[in-house]
């Protein structure tokens, strides 16, 4: 019923929050990691370094999505 739906939505929400906090540069956890690195070295990273880190994070996420998508399709085809 409705309470089951709310429970499922709560689980999905908590999982998304956890994934978003992973230290992958394109996610919020990546931004937190960059701030911690800047605090550790006591100076801000250059814009060029930040852009490179963000691009690497996006590439990592897109690669992960492609691999998962490929595995799902292969599982259906077999």
Q: What is the pLDDT of residues 10-50, one digit of tens each?
A: 999 999 999 999 999 989 999 999 999 999 999 999 999 99
Specify the pLDDT at position 3: 95
Specify the pLDDT at position 64: 95
What is the pTM assigned to this prediction?
Answer: 0.76
Confidence class for position 9, pLDDT limits 50, 70, 90: very high
Listed in sequence order, the residues at least 6 apart from 58 whose beta carbon sits closer than 8 Å to its beta carbon are 25, 26
Residue 59 has, within 13 A of its CA and on its CB side, a CA count of 6
């Amino acid at each position: 019923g409705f309470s089951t739906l709310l429970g499922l939505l709560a689980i999905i929400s908590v999982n998304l929050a956890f994934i978003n906090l992973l230290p992958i540069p394109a996610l919020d956890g990546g931004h937190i990691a960059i701030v911690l690195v800047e605090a550790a070295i006591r100076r801000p990273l250059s814009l060029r370094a930040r852009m490179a880190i963000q691009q690497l994070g996006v590439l990592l996420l897109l690669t992960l999505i492609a691999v998962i998508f490929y595995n799902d399709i292969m599982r259906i085809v077999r």
